[in-house]
Amino acid sequence: MAVRLIAFEWIWGTPMMNLRHIEVFHAVYQTGSVSGAARALHVSQPSVSKVLRNAESRIGFPLFKIVKGRLVPTDEAHVLFHEARELYARVESLKETTKNMRRGGEGHLRLAVLPSLGLDIAPAAVADFRRRHPDVSFDIKTLHNEDMLRSLYERNSDLALCYDASHHPRLADIWLGAGELVVLFRKEDLPDAPARVTLDMFIGRNVIKLTGTGAVGALFTSAFQHSEPGAATISVQTYYVAAGLVRRGAGIAIVDEFTARASLGPDIDFRPLSDAPSFDIYCVHLEDRPPSRIGLEFVTAVQNAIAASRR
């Protein structure tokens, strides 16, 4: 962050935008008006206009123009906003952390969570943890596998809840529990389903398949590459999308059990697959940044949530 901030303030000895400029520029860009930015920043409109003019003067080109009475970003503003947005988010995170420390809170946890674990497991763990530690704040992002590990590398997250163990020397992991693949279906499509179902029950049916490089997607590919259970007309990477397709009658889906449990309803049910391979769930973190005391307590809360869900 420090390097990027310097890049914003000085390029080849030329003064550039400072943090106040970026804050105002971000607000005007997001709200689309000076008045909207003033309300968002809790300052006066003349103050916003003055800072914006000063920013444009320092960088040497306009950031906005008036088109048919409306404030419209220039092409240069669109380019700058991509960089400013990331920097602004980090500044806001710094403010939140400082606020937590000032009020004497016990801490702050930044989580990266797979969408399937974000449906019920992570919320259950956070709710249980917060009942015992109300002063601990959370920042929760739902990310796919490849984005999740990048979030750890770039230190945007403290802990990642995922289905893949770490295979990188910079990463370490804690085992949280296990799960298995199940079949999610509308009750009218699979009446009188047995306790466990076999692949031959899906012959002639539309099957919604998992894709992607994650552990669950790889399990699906490995388990069913020699046995096509039906006509796979739809492939998805996000498991709750598969659940939505099932609900709409697009077919039956083979998903992780946690997505299935969170998707149950009067007309929706699931069954485990016979001889289906199981998968493990991990909390991954940077090896040089092991979980803090509150982090380890939260890990226990996730383990309890997984165990309770499976019961």
**CATH code (residue 168):** 3.40.190.10
Q: Residue 158 pLDDT more than 80?
A: yes
Percent of the chain at pLDDT > 70 equals: 84
CA distance 284 to 149: 8
Place of tokens 């016990």: 106
| Burial of 174 (C-beta count, 10 Å sphere; 0-12/13-18/19+) | buried
State how far Cα 104 lies from the chain centre: 28
Closest CA to 41 of 31, 54, 53: 31
Same-domain pairing of 96 and 134? no
Same domain, 287 and 201: no
If one counts every other C-beta atom within 10 angstroms of the C-beta of residue 8, the result is 18
Specify whether 121 is located in the same domain as 245.
no
pTM of the model: 0.62
Q: Are 45 and 89 within one domain?
A: yes
**Same domain (yes/no): 304, 162:** yes
Boundary of a domain, candidates 85, 102, 119: 102
At 104-157, the pLDDT tens digits run 445 889 999 988 899 899 999 999 999 999 989 899 998 887 788 888 887 788
Region 230-237 average pLDDT: 68
Question: Could you say which of 82, 102, 122 is where a domain stops?
Answer: 102
Range of the domain at 120: 109-176+283-310
Residues 231 and 274 reside in one and the same domain: yes
* φ/ψ (deg, to 5) at 17: -70, 135
288 and 154, same domain (yes or no): yes
**CATH code of the domain containing 66:** 1.10.10.10
Query: Is residue 168 domain-shared with residue 208, that is, in the same domain?
Result: no
